[in-house]
Structure 1
Amino acid sequence: MTVYNFTKTLVYGLLKPVYRMEVVGVENFPKEGGVLLCTNHIENMDPPIVGITAPRPVHFMAKEELFNVPALGKLLPSLNAFPVKRGMSDREALRKGLKVIKDGNVLGLFPEGTRSKTGEIGKGLAGAGFFALRSEAYVVPCAIIGPYKAFKKLKIVYGAPIDIASLRERRASAEETTDLIMGEISKLIQANR
């Protein structure tokens, strides 16, 4: 058993009873091929929650500072995480993300770039649109619907892949593509509250 699978099983066993997780739409998740998984961001717990509920292993970009924390920095690569410098264009992280998708894996992103202070969905950054346009990935929206409170229901909704073929064909901007992705996440939140 890999470190990823062991950790996923352990964390699922610990968190499932605390948050009474309800996972919806797993059937929408492509069984193979590169996937760009885009999720709203409401709490620090979002990456492990998505990691344990997604039907396939997820590779997350994580802020570079986390890799400087002694034990965590050693563990993160085993959990398919790789560093990204925030607040600037990190070409190495962009290359790594595209490779994850090209190799047929799942790249997980929080397009807002940081947690929402209000719990409401915020504006997405262009990175999600960049990956969607520069790859042939399935783009899967995901909504985490809180609150993160012990013994209250936490809902994780996976939507159907977003058709962005027309955006790719007309070479839409990364910003426009991210706006479309964020709109789909917002629709999932509204429909499943």
Structure 2
Amino acid sequence: MVYTIARAILRLLYSILYPLEISGEQHIPKEGPVLLCSNHISLLDPPAIGIWLDRKISFFAKEELFRIPILKSILHRIGTIPVRRGAGDRRALTKTLEVLKQGGMVAIFPEGTRIKSGIIEEGKKGAAFFALRSGATVIPAAILGPYRLFRKTRIVYGPPVDLSAYRDQKANAAIMEEVSNLIMEHIRRLANVSIER
């Protein structure tokens, strides 16, 4: 209920201030575990990649935000996953895998931080880890900014990344690096194709 209300409010705000042009949403499975992997250019990204989708999405938020009483309650109710930055956070890993194994959808920005230049950089191994451990469908997304008041920003969702060649392999560092590179390549390709239109 809280998620639905928050999404409706954000849809209204974005429609007025930062209208979004969405395409490719048909690639997102209507059910089952999904890992939505996108480039990251702005603090506006997390709501932007999820508010026009019908499925509920869990996002990550830094642990400090959960120390604010009212905000903590809201974040928990909308399914946000707290993460301790700068260190391995087992609780965040466990919670994310739990959401995926229950058939949920999680959004992640593999680059790990905002890249304002617009260049899509190398991804960290987190997305690959979750994809391989959960068996979730990996959907790449490209945010084509920058965001400008009252101007459209494009968001494109692509077909699932084919990870079938890796599903039965042990998820060691080399495999996770390959999978991470594959995910980022799909995001880059999606961005380039979208820009050329």
TM-score range, shorter chain: over 0.9
- Please point out which of 185, 188, 192 is paired with 2:187: 185
What is the match of residue 101 of structure 2?
A: 102
Offset from partner CA, 1:73-125 (integer Å, 9 cap, x none): 23211221011112221111111111101000101111111101312212211
- Measure the CA separation in 2 of the matches of 1:187 and 1:69: 39
Instruction: Report SS of the residue matched to 2:65.
Output: helix
What is the match of residue 39 of structure 1?
A: 38
- Measure the CA separation in 2 of the matches of 1:11 and 1:61: 17
After TM superposition, give the deviation of residue 181 of structure 1 in Å: 0.6
Say if 1:29 and 1:55, in contact at 8 Å, map to a contact too. Answer: no
What is the match of residue 73 of structure 2?
A: 74
User: 1:162 is matched by which residue type in structure 2?
Assistant: V
Say if 2:37 and 2:110, in contact at 8 Å, map to a contact too. Answer: yes
What is the match of residue 146 of structure 1?
A: 145
Offset from partner CA, 1:41-69 (integer Å, 9 cap, x none): 10001111122023311011212122223
Give the alignment of 1:37-186 within 5 angstroms: 37-171=36-170, 173-186=175-188
Say if 2:42 and 2:116, in contact at 8 Å, map to a contact too. Answer: no
**What is the root-mean-square deviation of aligned Cα atoms in Å?**
1.3
Provide structure 1 residue ranges, at least 5 long, that are not aligned to the other structure: none
TM-score for both structures, normalised by structure 2: 0.92
More off after superposition, 63-72 vs 138-147: 63-72
- Measure the CA separation in 2 of the matches of 1:22 and 1:187: 18
- Measure the CA separation in 2 of the matches of 1:22 and 1:97: 28
Report how many residues are paired: 192
